[in-house]
Amino acid sequence: MEKYKKTVGSFLRYQYLPHLAAAVVFQIGAGAILSFRNLDAQGAAKVMEMYACLCGIILLIPVFVPESDRAVWQLEQSKMTPMWKLYLGRVAVATLLVAVVAGIFILRLWAGGSLFSVWVLWRGTFSESLFLGAIGFFVCAVTNQVVLGYMVSVAYYVANIGAADRLGKFGLYPILRGDTATWPWLLGAALLLLGAGIWLRERKR
Amino acid sequence: MIGTLFVKECRQILKSLVYYIYLVIFVVFITSQMSGTEWIDELDEPQPGQQNYGYGLSDSESVLMETGLEKLFEEVRGRSFLTYPFGFAKDVVPDNSELEEITEILEYCTGTDMMGLEEAYTAYWMGVEGEMVDYETYMRHLEGWHIPVREGLSYDEFLAGMEQVSQIVGKGSMYDGRYAHYAKEPLSYEDAMQSYRELCEKDGVTGAQMRLFCDYAGIIVAFLPIFVGVASCLRDRRAKADEVIYSKAVSGFTLMASRYAANVVMVFVPVVIWAFLAQMPCVYEAASRGIAADGFAFLKYSVIWLLPVIMVVLSASFLITEATDTILAIPILFAGGIASLFSASILTGDFGWKLIARWNEFGGYGRFAQEAGQLYLNRGLYVILAAAGIFLTVPVYGKKREGGSGPNGKIQKNRG
């Protein structure tokens, strides 16, 4: 266990730090562009589903960055420790951070006197953020290009602005569109994509 | 040397998956947004005695007061005020005491209490409810309702009221004068004829279409070239070719300039081609009606409106990526693009210094001509910034070549 803590710790320190900083700026910057005060359920859903969900892109996609260098990948592959365990540790931390960021947004809304269902909005945003990040994560695993991961996630987010209804269970902003039941689909798809991404990265580069 | 490198860089871009994704998204987005044919109706010459000739902006004080108060009534009813404090759209929801204060201002300016205004508004919509058959009818009815303005209310009193509301809801609200963009009045036959003549003679028909094209394409080129630029800068490192390239005799300037130029050209060429294709239906339709269309509008508008955006986005991508050796340019520039997109309080004009200049309308040459000066200044600034960015990238790249700098005296690697 100590070994995994160390490897995740060094990943956070040497590779993940700029992305963590981006997540902090993302959180702080929200106050300049969004209002958290006195919102109704729709207003709160708009803040969470259209803005807060972007934290999934910031936090999940860079997980494979160190091994995008072939030499690093080969070195890690030659070690006793299976790579999927390393990836899983990183994904677990990133997932936890997504949950925390979504939680802080919920707290800000609550402190601002907005009226909404905390659990419904948190689980919806968490699932959506995870799904959005997992799309880029998976693309990154397939192509070994983090830029492509970001590009596809962002394109999916933008496409949903006009076409979320046409994407069925996998359309974004479900609560905003009055659907509070699709979050298990988004969460399930996110877990599937994350699992498939890790499996792919273990096998190929 | 620079020519050979330029061609090589173009070939490299053509091998990049990021570039093809850019092409696909660009084409799909533009096609989906510009497939409508409503603009054809605009080519019909207005005839005397028509039921209406559309609407135009008004600078009449009575219309401005009415518009400002109608917007205020709308937002008081919705308990939400749209503001642009830092250029982004932000909904401000006042607390009860603030809302009460704003309502008092509204009641003072209209000479009617809020309940009376609500009742009149509801009664109006109840009266026309059965006629709501389509969007056009709805819009006609929407324009048919007007808020009462208190008799004897001076324009200065009105402005003072707006100022008070503005202070309560915060900077960048509708009451900072933005309501003027919504102050419209019906056009007369003469006004409609003038617009028609401007469309045919000064705009050459295609100019109107190209502004609409630039409106949509401007959104795409403010975002997607970020990915193309970052991928291009990180390519050498990914291919483990950076050390080899560092050791070559070619200067940093030649290398960066050729790479940058290749990226600009490769991103811009599909835009120009699509602009040309988008203006063709206009050219044919105008020809069938005996109107001489401007065949070069696609080039003029693409170069002036869109090229500076591509240049500055790529330049900033190059500078940030070369300076940090990370993918940091993506979140930074993406946030910048979103800020510019959300800073548009109206979708036609008000260019200011926005990166994404909007003109979501076919026509409006008169207003565009008034604002074109600001657009040229805006685009000129971005060209200068793009040049500055790329000139700064050269020494940054040079520093890395010499052995690098950064924390602990080493170039930071494996972060993107």
- The shortest CB-CB distance from A143 to any of B17, B79, B240 is to B17
Cβ atoms B234, A144 nearer than 8 A: no
**CB atoms B94 and A147 under 8 Å:** no
Instruction: Name residue B80's amino acid.
Output: S
Looking at chain B, how many residues does it have?
416
Spatial distance between the Cα atoms of A129 and A55, rounded to a whole number of angstroms = 6
CB-neighbour burial class of residue A145 (10 A; exposed 0-12, middle 13-18, buried 19+): buried
3-state secondary structure of A173: coil
% pLDDT > 70, chain A: 99
C-alpha B235/C-alpha B229 separation (Å) is: 10
Give A135-157 pLDDT, tens digit per residue.
999 999 999 888 999 999 988 98
Query: Looking at residue B180, what is its pLDDT?
Result: 85
Dist CA B218 CA B213 (whole Å): 8
User: Packing angle between helix A118-143 and helix A146-163, nearest 10 degrees?
Assistant: 140
Which residues, in sequence order, are CB contacts of B330 under 8 Å at separation 6+? A147, A150, B226, B227, B230
The half-sphere exposure of B240 on its side-chain side, counting CA atoms within 13 A, is 5
More confident residue, B282 or B183: B282
Write phi, then psi, for B122 (nearest 5 degrees): -65, -40
Q: What's the rounded Cα separation, in Å, for the pair B94 and B110?
A: 21
Of all helices (H) and strands (E), which one includes residue A57?
Answer: helix A55-60
Q: Which residues of A touch B21 (CB under 8 A)?
A: 148, 151-152, 155
- Which one is predicted more confidently, B63 or B84? B63
pLDDT digits (tens, 9 = 90+) for A69-127: 777 887 877 787 788 888 999 999 999 999 999 999 999 999 988 889 999 999 999 99
When the pLDDT of each residue in chain B is averaged and rounded to a whole number, the result is: 88
For the cut 50, the answer to whether the pLDDT of residue B39 exceeds it is: yes
Residue A69's pLDDT is what? 76
- For residue B119, is pLDDT > 80? yes
Contact B240 A33 (CB under 8 A): no
Confidence of residue B44 (pLDDT cuts 50, 70, 90): confident
Which chain A residue is nearest to residue B321, measuring alpha carbons? Answer: A147
Residue A143 CB: number of other CB atoms within 10 A? Answer: 15
Confidence tier at B213 by pLDDT (50, 70, 90) = very high
Expressed in percent and rounded to 5, the helix, strand and coil fractions of chain B are 70, 5, 25
Q: Which of A115, A147, A176 to probe the B interface (max B CBs under 10 A)? A: A147
Q: Which residue of A has its CA nearest to B228?
A: A147
Question: In 3D, which of A161, A13, A172, A180 has the Cα closest to residue B415?
Answer: A13
pLDDT tier for residue A5 given thresholds of 50, 70 and 90: confident
Name the band, by pLDDT with cuts 50, 70 and 90, for residue B400.
Answer: confident
pLDDT value at position B129? 67
Q: Of all residues in chain A, what percent are helix, strand and coil, respectively (each to 5)?
A: 80, 0, 20
Q: d(Cα B383, Cα B387) in Å, to the nearest integer?
A: 6
Q: Residue B86: what pLDDT?
A: 63
Residue A39 to chain B, least CA–CA distance (Å) = 7
Q: Are strands B90-92 and B55-57 parallel, antiparallel or unpaired?
A: unpaired
A vs B, Cβ pairs < 8 A, gives 91
Chain B residues closer than 8 Å to A15 by CB: 414-415
| pLDDT tier for residue A187 given thresholds of 50, 70 and 90 | very high
Residues of A in contact with B339 (CB under 8 A): 33
**Tokens encoding B162:** 């707006």
What are B17-32's pLDDT values in tens digits?
Answer: 999 999 999 998 898 8
Nearest to A147 among B92, B223, B230 (CB): B230
Question: Quick check: helix, strand or coil at residue A67?
Answer: helix
Residue with tokens 């210094």: B353
Tell me the shortest Cα–Cα distance from A21 to chain B, in angstroms.
11
Q: What is the mean pLDDT of residues B183-194?
A: 86
User: Looking at beta carbons, which pairs linking B141-145 to residues 24 or more positions away fall under 8 Å?
Assistant: B143/B55, B143/B184, B145/B121
For the stretch B324-365, pLDDT in tens is: 888 889 988 988 888 788 777 778 888 889 999 999 888 889
Concatenated DSSP letters for B82-105? EE-TTSS-EEE---HHHHHHHHHH
Distance (Å, rounded) from C-alpha B298 to C-alpha B389? 27
Question: What's the 3-state SS for B347-411?
Answer: CECCCCCCCCCCECCCCCHHHHHHHHHHHHHHHHHHHHHHHHHHHHHHHHHHHHHCCCCCHHHCC
Residues of chain B with a CB closer than 8 angstroms to some CB in chain A: 17-18, 21, 25, 32, 79-80, 85-86, 88-95, 223-224, 227, 230-231, 234, 238, 240, 324, 326-328, 330-331, 334-335, 339, 342, 413-416
pLDDT value at position B131? 63
Name chain A contacts of B90, Cβ cutoff 8 Å. 32-35
What separation in angstroms does the CA of B292 have from each of B42, B206, B279, B363? Answer: 15, 10, 13, 16
Do the Cβ atoms of B18 and A147 come within 8 Å?
Answer: yes
- The per-residue pLDDT for A124 is 95
- CB-CB under 8 Å, A33 with B339: yes
Collapsing DSSP states into helix, strand and coil, what is residue A39? coil
User: What is the distance between the alpha carbons of residues A56 and A129, in angstroms, rounded to a whole number?
Assistant: 4
Least confident of A99-108, B34-43, B398-407: B398-407
**Which of B136, B159, B194 lies closest to B367 in space, CA to CA?**
B194
Distances (CA, A) of A21 to A58, B65, B170, B332: 10, 47, 29, 12
Q: Is the pLDDT of residue B162 over 90?
A: yes
Measured CA to CA, the distance from residue A141 to residue A145 in angstroms comes to 8
Per-residue pLDDT, averaged over B181-210, amounts to 89
Residue type, B145: W
Most confident of B122-131, B249-258, B402-411: B249-258
d(CA B50, CA A14): 71
Phi, psi angles (nearest 5°) of residue B107? -65, -40
Q: How far is B374 from chain A (nearest CA, A)?
A: 26
CB-CB neighbors (< 8 A) of A16 in chain B:
none
pLDDT per residue over A19-56, tens digit each? 899 899 888 888 877 788 888 888 899 889 988 999 99
User: Between B327, B339, B415, which is nearest A150 by CB?
Assistant: B327
Can you give the pLDDT at residue B414?
A: 47
Q: Looking at A151-155, B73-77, B359-363, B412-416, which range is the least confident one?
A: B412-416
CB A69 to CB B91 under 8 A? no
Q: Cα-flanking dihedrals φ and ψ of residue B91, to 5°?
A: -85, 120
Question: B326 vs A18: CB contact, 8 Å cut-off?
Answer: yes
Residues 168-187 on A with a CB inside 8 Å of B are: none
What three-state secondary structure class fits B145?
Answer: coil
Q: Determine contact: A66 vs chain B, CB below 8 A.
A: yes
Contact B18 A151 (CB under 8 A): yes
Partner residue facing A146 (CB), from B86, B91, B416: B416
Check A29 against B335: CB less than 8 A apart: yes
pLDDT at A39: 84
A positions 75-94 inside 8 Å of B (CB): none
- Residue B260: pLDDT above 50? yes
Q: What is the pLDDT of residue A114?
A: 87
Q: Which one, of B296, B294, B303, lies nearest residue B269 by Cα? A: B303
Contact B356, B340 (CB under 8 A): yes
